[in-house]
Amino acid sequence: MKTQLFAWIDKRTGAEAIIKSQLTEYPAPKNLNYMWNFGSLALLVLVLQILTGIFLVMYYKPSAEATFGGFTVAFDSVERIMRDVNFGWLIRYMHAVGASMFFVVVYMHIGRGLYYGSFKSPRELLWIIGVVILLIMQGAAFFGYLLPWGQMSFWGATVITNLFGAIPVLGEYIGQLLVGGFAVGDPTLNRFFSLHYLFPLLLAAIVGGHIHALHVVHSNNPEGIDLHKPEEQIPFHPYYTIKDAFGVAFFLLFYCYIVFFNPQMGGYFIEVDNYVPANNLQTPAHIAPVWYLTPWYTILRSFESKLLGVAAMGASLAILFVLPFLCRSAVRSARYRPVYKIMVIMFFVDVIVLGYCGHSAPTATLKVVGQIATAYYFLFFVALPFLPKFEKTKPLPEGI
């Protein structure tokens, strides 16, 4: 079967053994449901983002130098891509929509992990690597958002980089170091561009680590039990390759519909204000991050003190790192944990509520709602260690 070329390569790399152990003969539980498709989708979107990004960079110019009519070189270069580069509009919309879709699939992927207890022993490190991926993704998205140098880019970056000013003593210095001056400007654009290119490459490497860690401890499954019998497992290929391929096609239906018919997605994926060139003398009526960062923005806004808000926002992400050690129940899947099931579903709703509050213009009511949602966000994690004391778990099945 082996061609001479493949034999030559295999002799020097052990490619065949790797492919067999990691892909074609990799044993997977036979009962994985469609929630397990989002990992492969996340990988697909990451590849799409890197590829489209490489082509965009061939035309993009990171400069805040002013051009005619209150625009800048950076803004002009984006419009040049949209108008004059062959299929530039397609590449740019794929990239901009891809950023949002990346978070859609990754949030689903994380939610699946939470629900079925995929973060629990022996997969703690797999989860922690995943949280690192999430943080780098959010960083990359934030850096990329600045690049078009529109109003929301500019003011979003101004608001977020000013958060560092809340840190006692060193805050202002760190802020200036990050921004490259006293306010967001040309140096900020240059360094954010550099970091926007760097982070996805880091991401690609860490995703490799994530997949490696998965292939050491093997996949969890909807029942959340360890598999012992060989007939409970099926080879990854052809079963999950075809299932993932079907998932990819189904995902592309949504992705391409948005790219071709509704790329701004009603101002959620590409914000209206970002079609207005950056103007440091005029704040937009309402500054809010893109939808995928709004839950954390609400946590930030829920505190009167800026320092407390920043600390809470940091804690809300940092607490994800220790989740595997907070959750002490021996049972993994929420299917067999009645109390946890209600708590985790409420947690998902809670994050959506947080997201809504952060996206909307602040009102007194929404502020209270946001504060309650913030309280539940932390309560969920704090309650986890005490859950096994009173939660009566259902009996686990023998096998799948």
Partner 1 sequence: MKMTKFLMAMIAAAVMGFSTQAVASGGGAHLEHANVDTTDQEQIRRGLTVFTDVCMGCHSAKYLTYRGLMAYPEIGLTREEVDELRGEKSLMSGMISDLSIEDAVVSYGKAPPDLSLIVPGRRGGADYVYSLLTAYEHDPEGKVPDGNWNKVFPGNRIAMPDPLSWLDHDAADEAELRQQAEDVAAFLTLVGDPHQNTRRAIGCWVMGFLILLTLVLWRLKVEVWKDVKKH
Report the distance separating Cα 277 and Cα 260, nearest Å: 24
- Strand-pair partners of 72: 66
Instruction: Give the residue among 138, 141, 179, 120 at the shortest CA–CA distance from 325.
Output: 120
Q: Does position 178 bind partner 1 by CB under 8 A? A: no
The stretch near partner 1 (CB under 8 A) out of 102-110, 136-144, 189-197, 239-247 is 239-247
Half-sphere exposure of 222 (CA within 13 A, CB side): 10
Residue 308 contacts partner 1 per CB under 8 A: no
Q: Residue 301, interface with partner 1 (CB under 8 A)?
A: yes
Q: Is 253 in the site for partner 1 (CB under 8 A)?
A: yes
Least Å distance, CB 275 to partner 1, is 3
Contact track, partner 1, 323-362, x by CB under 8 A: --------------------------------------xx
CB of 339 to partner 1, least distance (A): 26
Near partner 1 by CB under 8 A: residue from 45, 94, 129, 259: 259
Q: Which is nearer to partner 1, 89 or 356 (CB)?
A: 89
As a whole number of Å, the CA-based R_g of the chain is 23
Considering only 99-107, 122-130, 197-205, 240-248, which stretch makes contact with partner 1 by CB under 8 A? 240-248
Q: 51 near 128, Cβ under 8 Å? A: no
d(Cα 219, Cα 201) in Å, to the nearest integer?
25
351: nearest Cα among 110, 127, 40, 101: 110
Using an 8 Å Cβ cutoff, are 306 and 164 in contact? no
Name the helix (H) or strand (E) containing 28. Answer: strand 27-29
Residue 228 makes contact with partner 1 by CB under 8 A: no
CB of 24 to partner 1, least distance (A): 14
Angle in degrees, 0-180, between the axes of helices 338-359 and 294-301, rounded to the nearest 10: 80
DSSP, residue by residue, 229-292: SGGGEEEHHHHHHHHHHHHHHHHHHHHHHHHHH-TTGGGTSS-GGGGSBP-TT---SS----GG
Q: For partner 1, give the closer residue by CB, 160 or 203.
A: 160
Residue 368 makes contact with partner 1 by CB under 8 A:
no
Question: Scanning the structure block, which residue is given the tokens 């469609």?
Answer: 34
Q: Does 169 bind partner 1 (CB under 8 A)?
A: no
Is residue 142 at the binding interface for partner 1, with CB under 8 A as the rule? no
Tell me which residues touch partner 1 (CB under 8 A): 30-31, 68-71, 79, 82-83, 89-90, 93, 155, 158-159, 162-163, 182-183, 231, 234, 238-239, 242-243, 245-246, 249-250, 252-253, 256-257, 259-261, 264, 267, 272-273, 275-276, 280, 283, 285-287, 300-301, 304, 306, 309, 361-362, 367, 399-400
